[in-house]
Each structure stands twice: as C-alpha cells, then as structure tokens.
Amino acid sequence: MRRFARSTEMTLLAICVVFFVALVIASDGELLAANSLRVLLQFLAVPVLIGLAQMVVLAVGQLNLAVGAIGGFAAAAMAVLMADHGVPAPFALLIGFLLAAVAGLVNGVLVVLTRINGFIVTLATMTVLIGVQYRMVGTRTVDAYPQALKIFGSSALFGVVPWIFIVALIVAGGLSVLLRRTVPGRKLLASGGNPIAARLSGISNDRSVIVAHTLSGAVLGVAAILTVASSPGVNKSIGGDWLLPSFAAPIIGGALLTGGSAVVLGTVLAAFIVRFVDTARAEFSLEPSWVNFVVGAVVLGSVVLGQVRTRRQQRRTVVKSPDVTVAGGVS
C-alpha cells in the first residue's frame, strides 16, 4: 500500500477524482446522471484499448505509428464483410480480429528482418493500410450490418456501465496478468528493460519484438470490434485520430520510451484523464484544438519528467553500488 501511495498510478487516480468532481460541479450535477455516465464510459473503451496497444510496443522500446491504420483497416474489413458479402457477424468480427493480429505480426517480423527502427517500419505499413482501407470503403459509410451488433455497442450494465467498456477492462486485466504473471510477459519486459542482459540470459529479443507487435495488433483487433459495434457506420476516417491518444495514455501513465515497463493501470487512468479533458472542452464550449494542445503539452511534460526520474534513479544506483574489490582482496 505504501508503494502504491507513492506511485504514478496513485497520482493519476487523485487527478481523476479531482477532475471528475470539478466536472460534476461545473455541470451542476448533470454528469452524475445515468445517461451522462454511460456516454462518458462508452467513449472511453476504444481509447483505453489503443493506449494499451501502444503500451505493449513501448514495453520493448519500440513505437507503433500504425495503431490507427491497423484498427481502421480491421474495422473496415469487418463492416465490408458483413454488409457487402453477407458474412455472419461472428465470422466477420473474427476475421477482422485476425487481420489486425496478422498486421501486428508483419510489423514485428519486418522490424526483426530489416533491423530498421519500428518508427520507420510502422510508418510504411500505416501508409499501406490506410490505402487498403480507402480501397475497401471509398467515400461511403458502411452501416448495413446486423442490428444486434449495434444494440450490443449501445447497451449497458444497469443502464450505466457500457458492455464495450467492460470488454476493454477485461482486456486490460488480461494484459496485466500476461505481462506481470507469465513467463512470456516477463521475457518481453526483460528484453525492453535491458536487451543485452536479456540476451545473455537466453531470452530472444527478436521474439519479444514480434510478440509485442502481434499482441498490439490483437488488442487493436478488439478495439476495431468495439468501434464497429458502437459507431453508426464505418468509413475511411475510422482510426485516423487514434495516434495521439495511443501515445498519450501510456506515456502519461508512466511508460518509459526506453522500454521495460508495463503500466496497464496507469494507461487506463490516463485515458480517463484525456477523456475528462475532452469533456471539459465540450462543457465550456472550447475549440477542439485545445484538447490536442493540452494533451500534447501533458505528454511532453510526462516525457521530460520521465527522463528526469530515470536519470535520478541511475545516479542513486551508482551512489549505492558497492565498492569494487581491488587486488589483494582489499575493497
């Protein structure tokens, strides 16, 4: 409990509480209405997932610029399969999910085979997938898919907690267990934290990179499913605004750009904060650009503070390290 009280997650939780109370006061209590809470949580499901998808790649010291492209491509594929080809919804959603996972796998394999930075590789695949998405849907909006799927996307437990948000939390919980409690997850974090030490320990850093990108694609596949279910239709713009939130949530949540960290709870809480900023923008009728400005400034500040914290930890490690033993056994 002491460790949690001093953690980044505790700080983010406190900010969330303060933000929420301030918004409740500003809205004269309207935010506490069941419908308002449902809308708030409904629009949080996908940001949570895209933040987690980026966090997994950051854990191995990589970047994924194709987050929105993978999700948009998968969502477009699902919608087109159901609307244009009459594929039953369960099969169409499964195919779209697998396509997203395969896209992530391709990213990981390309990074390993070419030894090119993931920034460049995912930039290239992002461009390709955006083109494929446009080829599938063109300028239209695809919305002729089963009504039952749309009902699921808008339904909520007790009329307050959307089912799609519950799915996002389940994915977050499963990802936390995978990264912290399983051997593959620990190997992935070890590769991100210290690749040289991981290799000397018999861990394949290449495999960790491939697993991270594939897992990121799988999470984006779930995000695509929830997007199709909760959106009135799918068009070429789906996923186009996912990139900044995907970086904002994990970085604000405490993820290190150098890798080795799994901040699932921090990512979820940071997604809440970003959503609260957007809600405040709507409440006070501010320009939408203010959201990007605030989020970008917070991300930049988080990166700077993270670098400062890392340097302080390195200095403390050097100071506390034991003296080196010299010849003759005298230390």
**Does 134 score more than 50 pLDDT?**
yes
Output the six-digit token pair for 159.
Answer: 């009329």
Q: Which residues contact 223 (CB under 8 A, 6 or more apart)?
A: 46, 49, 50, 53, 71
Which pLDDT value is given to residue 53?
97
Q: Which residue has the higher pLDDT, 27 or 179?
A: 179
Q: Which residues contact 31 (CB under 8 A, 6 or more apart)?
A: 20, 23, 24, 37, 40, 279
Q: Which residue has the higher pLDDT, 261 or 89?
A: 89
* Residue 271 and residue 48 in contact, taking contact as beta carbons nearer than 8 Å: yes
Least confident among 75-84, 126-135, 181-190, 289-298: 289-298
Which pLDDT value is given to residue 329?
47
CA distances (Å), origin 122, targets 116, 165, 258, 259, 305: 10, 28, 18, 17, 27
What CA–CA distance (Å, rounded) separates 84 from 138? 13
Binned at pLDDT 50, 70 and 90, residue 186 comes out as very high
Please give the share of the chain, as a percent, with pLDDT higher than 90: 61
Which tens digits make up the pLDDT trace of 310-323? Answer: 676 667 656 555 55
Bridge partners (DSSP) listed for residue 142? 234
Cβ-count burial 26-45 (b if 16+ within 10 Å, e if not): ebeeebeeeebbbebbbbbb
The helix/strand/coil state of 83 is: helix
Instruction: Give the chain's domains with CATH numbers.
Output: 45-309 (1.10.3470)
Sign of CA dihedral 187, 188, 189, 194: positive
Which amino acid is it at 10?
Answer: M
Binned at pLDDT 50, 70 and 90, residue 325 comes out as very low
**Does 284 score more than 70 pLDDT?**
yes
Which pLDDT value is given to residue 206?
95
Mean per-residue pLDDT over the chain, rounded: 87
Binned at pLDDT 50, 70 and 90, residue 330 comes out as very low
Which pLDDT value is given to residue 316?
63
Binned at pLDDT 50, 70 and 90, residue 285 comes out as confident
Least confident among 55-59, 156-160, 177-181, 287-291: 287-291
What CA–CA distance (Å, rounded) separates 299 from 322? 36
Which pLDDT value is given to residue 318?
61
In total, the chain counts a number of residues equal to 331
Binned at pLDDT 50, 70 and 90, residue 324 comes out as very low
Binned at pLDDT 50, 70 and 90, residue 195 comes out as very high
**Does 158 score more than 90 pLDDT?**
no
Least confident among 14-28, 79-93, 212-226: 14-28
Output the six-digit token pair for 12.
Answer: 């983010």
Which amino acid is it at 246?
Answer: S
Q: In terms of DSSP H, where are the helices of 231-263?
A: 243-252
What CA–CA distance (Å, rounded) separates 263 from 272? 14
Binned at pLDDT 50, 70 and 90, residue 8 comes out as confident
What CA–CA distance (Å, rounded) separates 193 from 289? 35
Which pLDDT value is given to residue 105?
97
